Every structure is written in structure tokens, then in C-alpha cells.
Amino acid sequence: MTSELDKLCINTVRMLSIDAVQKAKSGHPGLPLGDAAMAYVLFTKIMRHNPVDPHWINRDRFVLSAGHGSAMLYSLLHLTGYDLSLDDLKSFRQRGSKTPGHPEVHLTPGIEATTGPLGQGVGNIVGMAIAREHLAAMFNTPDRELINFHVFGICSDGDMMEGVASEAASLAGHLGLGCITLLYDDNGISIDGSTDITFTENVMQRFEAYGWHVLDVDGLNPDEVEAAVKAGVGETARPTFIRCRTIIGFGSPHKAGTAKAHGSPLGDEEVAATKRNLGWPDDKFFYVPNEALKHFRLAVKRGADLQMQWERELDQAKIAAPGFSQIWERFWNFTLPKDWKEKLPVWSGNDKPVATRKASEKVINSLAPALPWMIGGSADLAESNLDYMEGLGDFEKGNRNGRNLRFGVREHGMGAILNGIALTAPFIAHGATFLNFLDYMKPSVRLAALSGIPVIYVYTHDSIGLGEDGPTHQPVEHLWHMRATPNLWVMRPADANETAQCWKLAIERRDGPTALCLTRQNLPVLDPTMFSLRVERGGYVLSEASREVPDLIIMATGSEVQLALGAQKELEVQGLSTRVVSNSLSSNQTITRDSFCRQV
Amino acid sequence: MTSELDKLCINTVRMLSIDAVQKAKSGHPGLPLGDAAMAYVLFTKIMRHNPVDPHWINRDRFVLSAGHGSAMLYSLLHLTGYDLSLDDLKSFRQRGSKTPGHPEVHLTPGIEATTGPLGQGVGNIVGMAIAREHLAAMFNTPDRELINFHVFGICSDGDMMEGVASEAASLAGHLGLGCITLLYDDNGISIDGSTDITFTENVMQRFEAYGWHVLDVDGLNPDEVEAAVKAGVGETARPTFIRCRTIIGFGSPHKAGTAKAHGSPLGDEEVAATKRNLGWPDDKFFYVPNEALKHFRLAVKRGADLQMQWERELDQAKIAAPGFSQIWERFWNFTLPKDWKEKLPVWSGNDKPVATRKASEKVINSLAPALPWMIGGSADLAESNLDYMEGLGDFEKGNRNGRNLRFGVREHGMGAILNGIALTAPFIAHGATFLNFLDYMKPSVRLAALSGIPVIYVYTHDSIGLGEDGPTHQPVEHLWHMRATPNLWVMRPADANETAQCWKLAIERRDGPTALCLTRQNLPVLDPTMFSLRVERGGYVLSEASREVPDLIIMATGSEVQLALGAQKELEVQGLSTRVVSNSLSSNQTITRDSFCRQV
């Protein structure tokens, strides 16, 4: 039964949120007013989290895919005792604050993923659930569950309209990711008005079609929400989708149930009217009743107890199984084996020409057995991307140990899922497709770059060298596009050995994503005894000119480097002293519009 | 009942296709072998098309969303009498041929859309159906249906996994686009193997959830296919989805039903074995039995009759209603009213500062009533993008006259749908979202550029000037990205008058897409009597330096032009002769990585 205290607490979340939006003169009051009961139930009655240690390994995860409702999330984080003060709430959406317009991971304690671009959070949740299942398979024993956290999320109808969420949800259903409970805020309103103008599908039926466990509740009723969420947690074979019928801007006398409550402050008068309507003092701002705060802050003690108990179990596990402690610590501290670089394959100048995708395959398969962090897969192009890790199994319903992910033809879902995996634990997560199909997944790549998530993209078929598939499959603008994206490392190795070096750098990078652009066609192996291979410098002199001051400098990347070396040879014969610079890692590169031709 | 002749014809399609793939030593034999019966039924028993005039306005449309099955489509086009010879089939996938790896509109007679990147064709179909419904509302009367064509498509499980198809299908269901009949080739195989490894959702149930009319047939049985397609054509209130159970590579003794049949030639031996297995002479290549050809070519006479009958009705319509002839001809010939440019709003240097999105709104609403070609809408951001055409209604189930499209939060679906609209008739179709969300729809933008489709993108909030939404909503790399995309015009007007000029150029452009990048924030109006506004030149001297040979040249676009003019003023005071160049239309522009900051 919902108590008066519950109601007070829920209204505290609502009022803090609309005050924050009003003070910022910018933001979204509608979602916090409508979803406060849902979020309150999760944060105080369901989730196992420790506000004092937001990095506790086995904490339940919560992702607000509808990131525009950030004020609600910040309010809850403050109230339950995370390191986020009332002053932080007061500086909502201000430059340099810990409470930006949309939630940003690594910036605010308790934020698990950067969300806002709709649909991404749903994909992140699926990735977190994959990570959770795989970690459980790695570290649990029949007697002891060290990893058993749940993954919760709240999404909006905007999320439900985005294809990326559809892709991820389809895969989650296929994989039977029972640790997911997703609450869908069905308020019937989007920015342009009633969802009736464009969105009348049966979302529950769709999720049933994906294979989810589907429930339907009044999202304003905490008891109904609690019962449904508990049923979701109890369902371990399928992810759970809870349609929560809500009213956007609930409590606002003149804006509730309308698009006006969505994306603009209510206005001072309407804030006051809303407060009066919900029995709140209308002359108080950022007001937190003592009994509400006391109740919320129980989360601190509860969280500390939960974590302490878990740490006790961890200690017992370390004692029980010799060697386990080292395995555990090494994994979580990302302590790579000392000799891992020695496992990188080396090619000699006498080796036959080899495609860089093929070299990459050899690198992956040389390293993966020794690096348990490596997990990943292709968007239905494993046989072309050559990223399959032989002998390590497929991650499937019946095999959570599998380290190869079968994303299907779902590039965008793959991008968002990879972000979720890498946010959950120090995995070396990779995803593969043709370079041209970067376009299909770019919003997730951008969020990886923005959030500093160490994901590795294996983009093969990186030029017109891809063959006869034609211009629909030919990358042209993609390298420029990626190089202009801040914090995204773009690598286009010139041969097999550079490919190995690029992989090394990508694995060592922990503060952002790396794209490896690889050829389908064979490239000659540049003799490492003749050429200087220093890919870690980004641009570097690969082959020096005959004279100290060269007449010409040719810069190239990837499959064009061999052409540059050929040109150098001819030019030197003609008396032009020529230097060749390889730009494998960074800065811009030559690209011609002519390459947008219809056929090779 | 399927006759022996039907079987012969279907096998002719199969054999031509595998011969073409085998000769090219590259391509996809699996789909033609599996889907030939479906396509045969459509092209010979259902579709109203005229092979001799592939541009007949009221022809039924067919889109092969699974564009990798192009060999099947080319075979059918050849057989039914389109201007595509057996020699063209023999040069399948060769440079400069009319039979490229994936179908390309404007290159091959009978190809309605460039497909290959999966999911796009499904979106194109939805756009074609919207165009069809709107054209019908424009030109039909209770007595006379000049526009009543149907839109057919074949898609694969890859299409069904892509989010863009989900978005478009959801909207099609909402809009009740009864003129669509989509055949889904459910063969249980994708590139990486059985779809069981990643795709086990109930696709039919999902389409029911979208509001589609859903049927289930044996796709290898022409009778079942024909009955279902006829039921689809008969269903006018909902789009129809027909799951066709097929076998990939049907007939191939060793590869049927496996991923091996998907994307590589069968090999000479297996081609021969397949021919023998299907009762075909194994020593003949590109063999077309006379009776089969004769039967296929009935399409020519039938098509000519259909078109002639239709033209008669058109003539009667022209006679019956005075003025109709002119309206009809002007629309289809894209004859803009002589005075249309005079309707463009003009701002004076005394006007208050105005955001370019706001200026764009004024342009749109000044032109739309006079330009019946204008149709479009926003991905749930109409109130921010300001692209709504007042008084022209929403295109909805009950109002096919409406010219505002409500795409919902479906940017990618929007992009693919716009392509379909603009491919169907000479519409001036536009779609709007924040510039940052170009990323969500880029694959469709790329196809518009590649296919030369005149779509206009209204991208507002084009810089950190978007406000407090933060970096998840801030465009940074997007201008570089677009400028590097061949055949995409990118415009970033510096003020209200430049905005009007950019719209003028975008409307006049008929050979490719144009992106208008517009500000949220107000910009001063550059006094047209003081400055030279010549946006049609691309880069041009906006404000000349004091001396003939300037000390400095500042180049800028959009909201930075005013800053450049301010700098010029100060620099001139300091004695540095400075020229300001506005690059509103083309070439590169200043972009700083710093702008990827967390807040404004």
C-alpha cells in the first residue's frame, strides 16, 4: 500500500525537478512529474545500489533512456545520498555544473550512461545485460553468485519510435536477457502533440513479438509499478517490458497531459499552481521535507550493508578458490598479461601480400585467448569482417561464456550495445561492419567518443577496393567524417604489421573509441627492416627521401601507402627527392570525390 | 493452378540470374533462386506496368529492398521487355554496365530506387505510398481515378532487422497506407548462417502490432503468392505484409538452405547441378526458352494497353474539367509559377535580428501555398524546426490532401520516406530535425545524394548556439561530414535574406539533395544595400576590404559571418585591410574541436 510518506517522497522528486527546470529557465518538467512514482519505486524499493560507492561492481544499473528527464534523475540521486548536492540541482543546465541538460556518464555520480539522443539508452541497457550475463558466467559458481545485478531503465515513446531501440530490443528478446526490466513511460504525448498524430502501433504487442515478458500498469500508482517490477526481476528467462500509463506533467493544472509540459519550464505561476495542486507549499523552492529526506537516505545504509555483504562473499570466494583472487583483481583492474604484446603476429617483407582485414583476424585470434576482456562480433558480416574469435564460442541463450556476439543486421543496435558492454566492466568490446555502414551506427559512435568509452570498431572494405558491390557500398566521406569527430581515434593501417600495431594502440586506449579501417584487398607487407613503422606517432616518415631536403612529400594512409611508395621510387629515378609519410593513425588523409564512382 | 509454363518461366528467371552471377564471378544467387516465383507472380500476373514506358505516371511501383538480389530483378526486366538486353545481363556487375551490383535508379530502366543498404527500400516504399495517396487526393475525382497505382516490394530478413524499416513500417501502419503490398522473403538464412543465431522474433506479430494486414504463404508456391498478393491489393485500409516462406538457393543440390548460397557464385559445377536438378539443360548459358520469352513479353502488349486506356481517361479528364489540363501538365513538368520568386520574403537592414530557422519558416509559408509540390515535415520537432506549413493540413488517414507530414521521432525512416516521395513525382519534399541528428538519418541522405534525388533537409540548431541541451545535441563534425559527401549541397546562410536565397536554390535544384543548416539563435540582418548577398556563387566576397589587396581574408558561414564582419570592422580600425568571404553554400568552413564542449 502506498503510504503518505511514499506520496510525500514522490512529490519531493516532482517539486525538486520542476524547481530545477524553472530556475534554469530551460528543460523538461513533464517527464519528472509523470514518472516520479516509477523512479521512486526503483530507487527506494527495488534497486540494490550504494549511493556512497557508485562504482560498486555488483550494483543494479539504471539508465534513463529518455535523458531529457534528467532533472528527475538528478533529484533522485541527490535525495538517495549520491554526491550531488542541492546546489548542484540549483545549477541545473548551467555551464560547468554536474547537472547538464542530458545525463553524462563520468561526470555525475550515479549516471550509468550518457543519454539524450533517443533510443540509445535502450541499446545501452541491452549491452549492460549482455555484460552482466557474461560476467556472471565468468565469475559465478553453482554455490556463489558474485554477479547478479539487474539492469533497469525508463524509456519514452520517443525511444520506442527510434529504430535503434527496435534493433536492440529484438536482440535482447532473442538472447533471453532476463536481467532487464524496462519501464516504458506511455504518456501519449510527444513534442509535436499527441502521439495519435504519428504513433498508434501496439507497442506491447511488438515487444511480445520480440520475445519479451510484457506487463501493463498504471505508472502513477506506486503499488502497481512495484508489483510489476518485482515480477520483472523474478522473470529470469526473458527481458521484461512494463508499459506504464502516465500523464505527462502530472499535477500541473493547465499543462498536464499536453505537449506544453514536455520541453519548456512550466512558468513561475504554473509551478506555484502545480505545488498547490499537489498539496505542496507554493512559496518554497528546492524544498525537501525532513521526513522525506530521512526516508530517501535510508538508501545509504541499505546500500552500504548490501555492498558489505557482497564484499564478504567476494572475500570468501577468494579464500575458497586459490587463484580466483588474482583472476578477479586482474580482470577488474584491467591488468593485461605482461607478455601480451609478444603475442602480436609479425610479418616479414618476404611474406605474401595480405589484406589488412586478414591481418586483423590473425591479431584478434592471437590475442583473444590470452585477453579475457575481448568480446565482440559483427553485424552479420563476420565472414567478411574476419573478426570471429575461433574457439571462444557464441554468446547465446545456452552459452553465456561465449565471447562472439552475433549482432545480426543491426549496426545501430550494435553500436549502442557495445557502449553498454564497455560501460559495465573493463571489456575490450569490438563491433564490425563495412566502413560504409558506419553511417548506420554513427549516433552510437558519437556517444562513445563523447563519453570516453573504449570501444573498437572493425570497419573493413574501407575503399573502392571492396569490389563489385558498387557505390551503395563504397565509403567515400567516411574517413573525413570520423576524423572530424572529436575523441574518436581513426586508424587506417598500411599493411599487416601496421594493423597489429594499430590493434595494440586500440587495446591500450581506455578513454575513448577507436575505428580500425581495413582493406578487403591484399596489400604488400612493408619490410619492417627497410621501413620505419611507427604508427603510434600518428603521422610519421615511413620512407625518407634521398636528399635531406626533399623536393616532394607524399602523404597517404592504408591501401594508398603502397602506391605512394611506388611513386616515390619512380620519382627518385627521375631525380625528384621524395619522402613518404604514412598517416595511419590521425590527421586528415587524401580522399578524392572521384572515388564515388559507380563501379571499380 | 501453376502451369508448366509458369514453372518454365520461373526457372528461366532463376537460371538467368545464376548464370549472370556465375559469369560475373561475384554476386548473390540465393535470393533469385528462392524468390523467383514471388517476383514472377508480381511482374506477370499482378503489376500494371508498361516495359516500353518505365516512366508511365500511373505504373505500379516495385522496389527490391533486398537489393543484393539485383540479378533477379534484371532478369525480369529483360524478360518482360524493358530496355535491358541479354548482353546487359552478361555484363552484370561490370564497370559501366546497366546492371550494377545493386540496383540504381536513373541508370537502369524499370529500377524505381537505389537499394542495397538494407532497410532503405522499405522506407522508400512507404514514401512512394504517401506520394501515391497524396497524388490521388490531388488529381482523382469521385468519378475518375487517374492515380491508383500500387506499391510492391520484396524485402529480406536483413531488411527486417534494420531499424529504418521498423520506423517506416510503424508509420505506414499508422497512416493506413493500403496501397502497399510488401513480400517478406523469410528464408531463415543470413550471411553469417541461420537466422536462429540472432533473429528469432515473430516478425508477423510485429507487423500486426504496427497495424498491418498480415498474411503467411509458401513463397515457392506461385498460386499461394498470387492469392495473397491479390488479397493485399484488395485491402485498401491497411498496408499488407506477406511472409513468404522460401528456401535460399532453391534448387541448388548442395547449397540450398545454407548461407553458402547467399553472397557468392555457386561455382560452375553447382550451377550445372542446379540446372539438372530443375530440369534445365546444363550446357546452356543465359538460355531463354522461346515459349517462356513469349509468355513474359505479353507484358509489353498488356502494358501498352493499360497505359493507352489510362491516357484515354486522362484526355477525358482534361476535356471534362477546364483548367485541369494546365494544372496536370504544370505539376508533372515541374513548371513553377512565373512569379514564385517574388513571393520570397525580404528583410531590410533595419529589421530586428532573426534566427535563420525563423526566416526559413517565413520562406516556407510564403511559398507553400503557391507551390503545390511542397510537402514535408519534421521528426517530432516541428515547433523547433519551424517547418510547419500553416493552413495546409496534416497528411493523415482521414486527410490525404494534407501536406504536412508527421514523421514522429523517426529520423532515419523520414530520410528513406522522403527519397520515396521524391522518386515518385516531382515533389519538393522536405524533412526537418536538429543538425546533430543528421547522424540518425545519414544512410538515407547518402542514397539521396548518390541517386540524385531532390530532397531538402531543414537542419536547425546548427551550432552550440542551440542552448543548454548540451553536447549530446551539439553538432560539431556534421558540416565537415556533409561537405565531404559527394553531390550533397550544404548551405549555411548567414542571415534571413541568405536563408531565402538558399531556399530558392534548393527548390530549383532537381538533381540532388540540399541541406539547409539554420540557427536557433537570432542573427542580425545584413543590410542588403550595404552587403553583397550572392549566395548562389557558393563562396563570395560579402564585404570588401578597404584596400585592393587586403591584408587579411576572413572566411565564415552561418552564424559566424556576423562575427567575421565585427572582426573586420575592428581590424580596419587598426589599419589592417580585411575582406570577409561568406561560404554559405559550398566548400569547407571553420570548425573548432573546442565546440564539442559540455555546455554553452
Q: What is the pLDDT confidence band of residue A110, given thresholds at 50, 70 and 90?
A: very high
Interchain CB distance below 8 Å, A97 and B170: no
Q: Does the pLDDT value for residue B583 go beyond 90? A: no
Q: What is the pLDDT confidence band of residue A191, given thresholds at 50, 70 and 90?
A: confident
- Provide the 3-class DSSP secondary structure of residue B166: helix
Torsion angles phi and psi, residue B109, rounded to 5 = -60, 135
Q: Does the pLDDT value for residue A589 go beyond 50? A: no
The alpha-helical segments, DSSP class H, found in A192-322 are: 203-210, 222-234, 268-277, 290-320
In angstroms, the CA A495 to CA A360 distance is 10
Torsion angles phi and psi, residue A463, rounded to 5 = -160, -175
Q: Does the pLDDT value for residue A585 go beyond 80? A: no
Work out the average pLDDT over A37-57.
Answer: 98
Give pLDDT tens digits for B185-196.
999 998 889 999
The pLDDT value recorded for residue A593 is 27
Work out the average pLDDT over A423-445.
Answer: 98
Please say whether the beta carbons of A454 and A422 come within 8 A: yes
Using the Cβ of A201 and the Cβ atoms of chain B, whether some distance falls under 8 Å is answered with yes
In angstroms, the CA B287 to CA A374 distance is 51
Please say whether the beta carbons of B178 and B237 come within 8 A: yes
What mean pLDDT value characterizes chain A?
95
Q: Does the pLDDT value for residue A303 go beyond 80? A: yes
Torsion angles phi and psi, residue A377, rounded to 5 = 180, -170
In angstroms, the CA B119 to CA B125 distance is 10
The number of angstroms, rounded, from the C-alpha of B472 to the middle of its chain's C-alpha atoms is 28
The number of angstroms, rounded, from the C-alpha of A581 to the middle of its chain's C-alpha atoms is 35
Q: Which of A391, A465, A382, A379 is nearest to A415 (CA)?
A: A379
Residue A148 burial (C-beta neighbours within 10 Å; 0-12, 13-18, 19+)? middle
- Provide the 3-class DSSP secondary structure of residue B190: strand
What mean pLDDT value characterizes chain B?
95
Work out the average pLDDT over B399-406.
Answer: 98
Q: Which of residues 260-279 of A touch B (CB under 8 A)?
A: none
Angle value at C-alpha B377, between B373 and B383, nearest 5 degrees:
135
Q: What is the pLDDT confidence band of residue B175, given thresholds at 50, 70 and 90?
A: very high
Nearest CA in chain A to B190: A380
In angstroms, the CA B35 to CA B25 distance is 21
Q: What is the pLDDT confidence band of residue B537, given thresholds at 50, 70 and 90?
A: confident
Please say whether the beta carbons of B162 and A409 come within 8 A: yes
Please say whether the beta carbons of A437 and B446 come within 8 A: no
Taking contacts as CB-CB distances below 8 angstroms, the residues of chain A near B24 are 468
Residue B237 burial (C-beta neighbours within 10 Å; 0-12, 13-18, 19+)? exposed
Q: Which of A555, A560, A562, A542 is nearest to A587 (CA)?
A: A555
Work out the average pLDDT over B589-596.
Answer: 29
Residue B339 burial (C-beta neighbours within 10 Å; 0-12, 13-18, 19+)? exposed
> From the CB of residue B128, how many other CB atoms can be counted at a distance below 10 Å?
31
The pLDDT value recorded for residue B600 is 24
Interchain CB distance below 8 Å, B202 and A190: no
Interchain CB distance below 8 Å, B596 and A486: yes
Q: What is the ipTM of this complex?
A: 0.96
- Chain A nearest C-alpha distance from B567 (Å): 26
Work out the average pLDDT over B499-516.
Answer: 96
Residue type, A148: N
Q: Which of residues 472-501 of A touch B (CB under 8 A)?
A: 472-473, 476-477, 480-481, 484-487
Q: Does the pLDDT value for residue A202 go beyond 70? A: yes
- Chain B nearest C-alpha distance from A424 (Å): 20
Contacts of B536 (CB under 8 A, 6+ apart): B501, B505, B585
- Chain B nearest C-alpha distance from A203 (Å): 7
The percentage of residues in chain B with a pLDDT greater than 70, rounded to a whole number, is: 97
Q: Does the pLDDT value for residue A346 go beyond 50? A: yes
Q: Is A468 a catalytic residue?
A: no
The percentage of residues in chain A with a pLDDT greater than 90, rounded to a whole number, is: 92
Q: Does the pLDDT value for residue B597 go beyond 70? A: no
3-state secondary structure B127-144: HHHHHHHHHHHHHCECCE
β-bridge partners, A540: A582
The pLDDT value recorded for residue A105 is 97
Give pLDDT tens digits for A270-285.
999 999 999 999 999 9
Interchain CB distance below 8 Å, B201 and A381: no
Please say whether the beta carbons of A566 and A441 come within 8 A: no
The pLDDT value recorded for residue B536 is 81
Q: Which of residues 533-572 of B touch A (CB under 8 A)?
A: none
Q: Which of B369, B392, B388 is nearest to B380 (CA)?
A: B388
Q: Does the pLDDT value for residue A594 go beyond 80? A: no
Please say whether the beta carbons of B442 and A475 come within 8 A: no
In angstroms, the CA A44 to CA B188 distance is 45
The pLDDT value recorded for residue B592 is 28
Residue type, A173: G
Q: Does the pLDDT value for residue B170 go beyond 60? A: yes
Please say whether the beta carbons of B34 and B246 come within 8 A: yes
Using the Cβ of B447 and the Cβ atoms of chain A, whether some distance falls under 8 Å is answered with yes
Handedness of CA A71, A77, A80, A82 (dihedral sign): negative
Q: Which one of A170, A442, A480 has the shortest CB-CB distance to B442?
A: A442
Q: What is the enclosing helix (H) or strand (E) of B217? A: strand B213-218
Work out the average pLDDT over A132-151.
Answer: 97
Strand B61-64 and strand B151-156: the pairing is: parallel
Does the predicted model carry a pTM greater than 0.95? yes
In angstroms, the CA B385 to CA B378 distance is 7
Q: Does the pLDDT value for residue A445 go beyond 60? A: yes
Least confident piece of the model among A168-172, A193-197, B393-397, B567-571: A193-197
Please say whether the beta carbons of A457 and A442 come within 8 A: no
Give pLDDT tens digits for B94-146.
999 999 999 999 999 999 999 999 999 999 999 999 999 999 999 999 999 99
Work out the average pLDDT over A213-230.
Answer: 98
- Chain B nearest C-alpha distance from A50 (Å): 27
Please say whether the beta carbons of B251 and B33 come within 8 A: yes
In angstroms, the CA A29 to CA A14 distance is 8
β-bridge partners, B283: none
β-bridge partners, B399: B396
> From the CB of residue A66, how many other CB atoms can be counted at a distance below 10 Å?
28
Q: Does the pLDDT value for residue B441 go beyond 70? A: yes
Interchain CB distance below 8 Å, B162 and A410: yes
With cell 500508482, the residue in question is A221
Please say whether the beta carbons of A448 and A196 come within 8 A: no
Work out the average pLDDT over B530-541.
Answer: 82
What the block records as the C-alpha cell of A578 is 621524395
Work out the average pLDDT over A458-475.
Answer: 93
With cell 542514397, the residue in question is B447
- Provide the 3-class DSSP secondary structure of residue B210: coil
Please say whether the beta carbons of B337 and B507 come within 8 A: no
In angstroms, the CA B327 to CA B239 distance is 30
What the block records as the C-alpha cell of B311 is 491516357
The pLDDT value recorded for residue B586 is 55
Q: Does the pLDDT value for residue B61 go beyond 50? A: yes
Q: Following DSSP, what letter does each residue of B297-359 receive, concatenated?
A: HHHHHHHHHHHHHHHHHHHHHHHHSTTHHHHHHHHHTT---TTGGGGS----TTSPPEEHHHH
Exactly one of B133, B224, B361, B411 is catalytic; name it: B411
Exactly one of A104, A411, A498, A572 is catalytic; name it: A411
Contacts 24+ apart (CB under 8 A), B463-466: B463/B435, B463/B519, B463/B558, B463/B559, B463/B595, B464/B595, B464/B597, B464/B600, B465/B519, B465/B520, B465/B521, B465/B559, B465/B600, B466/B434, B466/B436, B466/B520, B466/B600
The number of angstroms, rounded, from the C-alpha of A38 to the middle of its chain's C-alpha atoms is 24
Interchain CB distance below 8 Å, B200 and A208: no
Torsion angles phi and psi, residue A138, rounded to 5 = -70, -40
Report which DSSP code applies to B185: E
Q: Does the pLDDT value for residue A598 go beyond 90? A: no
Instruction: Please compute, for residue B55, the number of CA atoms within 13 A of its CA located in the half-sphere on the CB side.
Output: 8
